[in-house]
Amino acid sequence: MNAVANYNFAYLDEQTKRMIRRAILKAVAIPGYQVPFSSREMPMPYGWGTGGVQVTASIIGPDDVLKVIDQGADDTTNAVSIRAFFAKVAQVQTTTHTAEATIIQTRHRIPERKLEAGQILVYQVPIPEPLRFLEPRETETRKMHALEEYGLMHVKLYEDIARHGRIATTYAYPVKVEGRYVMDPSPTPKFDNPKMHRSEALQLFGAGREHRIYAVPPHTDVVSLDFEDHPFEIQHFEHPCALCGAEQVYLDEVILDDRGGHMYVCSDTDHCEERREAGHVGVLGMQEAAE
Amino acid sequence: MLSHDFGAGFADPVVDAQAAFRAFLDALANPGTQQKLAGSSDGSAALGRELASTLLTLSDHDTTIWLSPALDVDAVKGFVGFHTGASVVDDPAKANFAFVALGDAMPELARCNLGTQEYPDRSTTIVVEVPALDGGAELVLRGPGIRETQAISPVGLPADFVAQWGENRELFPRGVDLLLVAGGQVMGLPRSSRIVEA
Ligand SMILES: [Zn+2]
């Protein structure tokens, strides 16, 4: 990360914050619509979620408590760096506990713990346009959104069914917001789509390279696209978390050795730790205890 | 000229603008609720504290603003020019923000910039100083940001407001957004809100 000497509070200058804040307010008023904004250079590469960082920098205040996750983990390089960045440029308190955070910036996952009123979830979005792979021209996708022409999207999903017998998309699975805009929920696994539906929290999305901000206010309908004969389904995991025994959570495969040994554990590390602290034990945790 | 000729800006411009922005964000994300507009500027004699805070937080030389007749005076235009650099326009249809002083009539919603189908975000945000956010006729809202319904009773809306808002809602995703301010509080009515009972 480059030097961030002589920065304003939260790094961005006030003029930039005002521009981004105006875009955020319009995004909230038009749920699911992508508001263009003039993205700024941040002292980190684009792949690091500069859109999310700019949104967080524009909303954060001295009383906020910030959590940053990459996949579901607080301790990856990306999450640690962004958290350290805001601790330095905005002197805010940071946390790894979902319940304590007022702002949660995320790259992929939505925490397993139900978010509460007053919390803001900020997504780092690489590709905000759900129609991009159907139509590369921005002028055309804008027209399609304007006219609510989403037939091609359904055709694409149906082709999936024809080819694979099911909708094969597992990440960035398109949703319809409040019955109007089709929206890309960023590279979250489709497992998390139902958590966006009528969430108590405000959800803000920032795409730095693509210069777009969009939003889902609390209590807003977010419905995954599907078909009557092929309804939307989330991923199911056969085993509970090996460490904490949690079921109905998103699991990551962890390789244990070079002989093919592996286990499935919570992707949300905070959720897993809290469960273990509360005394929940998974299969592997039991072995450890027995050894 | 000295800044106090135009009234003071924020005591702490960075922190106060952030706090005020969060009030606007919470107001529009939770339509019909009242949010404390912290970090108020004193404004000037002709410009109430809440309108002054809104101006300072959201406008700058990239924005166009329309001022209602009571605000269309040198003291306020001086405040706007000195503290924000925003261009004052004579037609709400050209304005990013329309500011309406206590007692002045709100511009007809349809006369403001309603945005386009491709760029609905380019519409006007109307900021209206009302006598009170409670105590008027009850309206019941539904829409994004509202769990079931939200009752509001602001005082001082135009007599035909319910009809005007209904037409505005029909234009969705086009349409204006409304911020009502009074007594150090702000209430938001984004275009997505529907008045279901009046
Ligand atoms: Zn676990």
Instruction: Note the ipTM here.
Output: 0.97
HSE of B133, CA atoms in CB hemisphere, 13 A: 22
> What is the mean pLDDT of the segment spanning B90-98?
98
Cα separation, A224 vs B8, whole angstroms: 50
**Sheet hosting strand A181-183, strand order edge to edge:** A181-183, A175-177, A222-224
Q: Which residue among the candidates A51, A241, A245, A282 is catalytic per the annotation? A: A241
* Residue B77 structural domain: 13-131+159-190
Q: Is residue B148 part of a domain?
A: no
Q: Return the pLDDT at A6.
A: 66
DSSP annotation of B111 reads G
What residues of chain B lie within 8 A of the CB of A28, using their CB? 25, 28-29, 145, 190
Domains of chain A, earliest start first: 2-224 (3.40.50.11310), 251-290 (no CATH)
Q: Is residue B137 part of a domain?
A: no
Q: Is A103 helix (H, G, I), strand (E, B) or coil?
A: strand
Look at chain A and count its residues: 291
Q: Return the pLDDT at B167.
A: 98
Q: Is residue B8 part of a domain?
A: no
Distance from the alpha carbon of residue A192 to the mean position of ligand 1, in angstroms: 16
Q: Is A118 helix (H, G, I), strand (E, B) or coil?
A: coil
Residue B196 Cα distances to A191, B129, B156, B166, angstroms: 34, 24, 19, 9
Q: Is residue B111 part of a domain?
A: yes
What residues of chain B lie within 8 A of the CB of A137, using their CB? none
| DSSP string for A36-91 | E--PPP-SS-GGGTHHHHHHHHHH--TT-EEEEEBTTBSSSHHHHHHHHHHHHHS-
pLDDT band for position A181 (cuts 50, 70, 90): very high
Q: Which residue among the candidates A32, A61, A206, A261 is catalytic per the annotation? A: A32
For residue B56, pLDDT over 80 is answered with: yes
Domain tally, chain B: 1
Q: Is B129 helix (H, G, I), strand (E, B) or coil?
A: strand
By C-alpha distance, the chain A residue nearest B176 is A29
> What is the mean pLDDT of the segment spanning A25-53?
91
pLDDT band for position A1 (cuts 50, 70, 90): very low
Q: What is the CATH number of the domain that holds B19?
A: 3.40.50.11310
For residue A112, pLDDT over 80 is answered with: yes
CA distance B71 to chain A (A): 22
Q: Tell me which residues of chain A, numbers 222 to 261, contact chain B at a CB-CB cutoff of 8 Å.
A: none
What residues of chain B lie within 8 A of the CB of A36, using their CB? 119, 121
Q: Return the pLDDT at A162.
A: 87
Contact call for residues B113 and B122 (beta carbons, < 8 A): yes
Q: pTM of the full predicted structure? A: 0.96
* C-alpha torsion angle, residues A65, A69, A74, A79 (rounded to 10): -90
